[in-house]
């Protein structure tokens, strides 16, 4: 039996394909390469198998997905393919709603039509917005503060309603802030579009193309005034997906899990940790808050520990060391300006 992985050439998707292969699963990748590089496929094949099937296409293209279903015996779908930049989603919300919503709707329809057993969905802590308590548990009422976060919540609802009325079992994984790269150094974060996430910007400041990191706000009510996030190693996330595929959901038709470490790090703490790992100075400039940002977010991961048997294993130093190894060895891996 085989898993269809949409967005499997992208950042979290490619690491998950490697983890699925290691766990003995057959995988077919579907990716439109809108935010993944084609050379990642060669590296992924070196890490997994030269026979890894990678199809270029849109997850919302039902004809193409049905054809793939005719050719392979899928028992599961992992859906990563999505636009994922919060600032971009404010600038062009309709593109985000169209892409993220339609791909999920199409894959859910085909999953039911083809009797696929399990659907694992790549969601985000962005669905929570400003949490009413910390750490953020899955019971926190979602209140997204960006079009991106809203698209993820809409997709979660499509899938939960689908699971309630069919044999499909759905696992929704809400990632906190993914960082790091595969320990081999072969795959990592190689965005085509400028996503404006913190760690790629910090790495560009350490490497040189960015003269200084803009820190968006130092007037939050936090220990050093900068925002707090829960950074989690991308390999830990990948292992979380393998656990989600195999988990016994008991009586639940769909289940939401946070994937984070449970520890919060401020923006300035992350900068200092990156300076220590890279041995490079990272000049910073404090600027105003970024629209849509929240002050603090870190995960309550007890549900994933209890029900998936999953806990993040890698610490901040390892995330940054692995991320740095990847970007510093590949000039072409540095994110675009
Ligand atoms: C973190 C903090 C910024 C850039 C989003 C999604 C989440 C996940 C990751 C999944 C904020 C500050 C950033 C910079 C800065 N996406 N910052 N200078 O917004 O927490 O989460 O991306 O695929 O689901 O919601 O992540 O990395 O953009 O920002 O000061 O140049 O770093 O203001 O406080 P965010 P981020």
Q: Atom 30, ligand 1: which residue's CA is nearest? A: 215
Please tell me the number of Cα atoms within 13 Å of 17 on its side-chain side: 32
pLDDT at 333 over 80: no
Instruction: Give pTM, 2 decimals.
Output: 0.96
Q: What is the dihedral of CA 107, 111, 114, 116, to 10 degrees?
A: 140
So where are the chain's domains? 2-180+232-259
Q: Is 97 a catalytic residue?
A: no
Q: Are 37 and 190 in contact (CB under 8 A)?
A: yes
Tell me the backbone φ, ψ of residue 214, rounded to 5 degrees: -85, 125
pLDDT, one tens digit per residue, over 20-61 is: 999 999 999 999 999 899 999 999 999 999 999 999 999 999
* Rounded distance from Cα 85 to ligand 1 centre (Å): 9
Q: Residue ranges of the alpha helices (H) in 137-233?
A: 147-164, 198-207
Take residue 96 and report the two structure tokens written for it.
């985000």
The residues near 93 (Cβ < 8 Å, ≥ 6 apart) are: 147
Check: CB of residue 241 under 8 Å from CB of residue 120. yes
Q: What is the pLDDT of residues 225-265, one digit of tens each?
A: 999 999 999 999 999 999 999 999 999 999 999 999 999 99
Residue nearest atom 21 in ligand 1 by C-alpha distance: 177
The residue-averaged pLDDT of 127-141 equals 96
Which is the CATH superfamily of the domain at 2-180+232-259? NAD(P)-binding Rossmann-like Domain (3.40.50.720)
Alpha-carbon 292 to chain mean position: 19
Which of 196, 290, 336, 337 for a ligand 1 pocket mutation test, highest count of atoms within 8 Å of Cβ? 290
What mean pLDDT is predicted for residues 294-298?
96
């Amino acid at each position: 039996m085989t898993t269809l992985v949409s967005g499997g050439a992208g950042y979290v998707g490619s690491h998950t394909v490697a983890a699925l292969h290691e766990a003995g699963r057959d995988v077919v990748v579907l990716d439109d390469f809108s935010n993944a590089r084609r050379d990642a496929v060669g590296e992924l094949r070196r890490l997994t198998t030269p026979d890894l099937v990678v199809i270029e296409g849109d997850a919302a293209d039902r004809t193409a997905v049905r054809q793939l279903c005719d050719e392979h015996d899928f028992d599961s779908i992992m859906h990563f393919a999505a636009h994922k930049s919060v600032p971009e989603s404010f600038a062009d919300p309709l593109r985000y709603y169209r892409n993220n919503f339609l791909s999920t709707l199409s894959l859910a329809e085909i999953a039911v039509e083809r009797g696929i057993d399990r659907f694992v969905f790549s969601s985000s802590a962005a669905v929570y917005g400003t949490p009413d308590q910390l750490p953020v548990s899955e019971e926190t009422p979602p209140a997204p503060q960006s079009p991106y976060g809203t698209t993820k919540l809409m997709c979660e609802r499509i899938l939960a309603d689908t699971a309630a009325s069919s044999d499909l079992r759905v696992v929704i994984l809400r990632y906190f802030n993914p960082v790091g790269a595969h320990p081999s150094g072969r795959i990592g974060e190689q965005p085509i579009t400028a996503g404006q996430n913190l760690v790629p910007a910090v790495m560009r400041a350490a490497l040189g193309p960015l003269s200084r990191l803009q820190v968006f706000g130092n007037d939050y009510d936090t220990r050093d005034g900068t925002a707090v996030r829960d950074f989690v190693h991308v390999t830990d996330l990948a292992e979380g997906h393998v656990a989600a595929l195999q988990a016994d959901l008991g009586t639940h038709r769909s289940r939401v899990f946070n994937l984070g470490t449970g520890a919060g790090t401020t923006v300035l703490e992350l900068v200092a940790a990156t300076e220590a790992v890279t041995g490079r100075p990272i000049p910073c400039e404090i600027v105003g808050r970024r629209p849509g940002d929240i002050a603090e977010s870190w995960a309550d991961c007890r549900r994933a520990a209890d029900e998936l048997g999953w806990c993040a294993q890698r610490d901040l130093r390892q995330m940054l060391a692995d991320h740095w190894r990847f970007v510093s060895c590949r000039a072409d891996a540095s994110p675009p300006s």
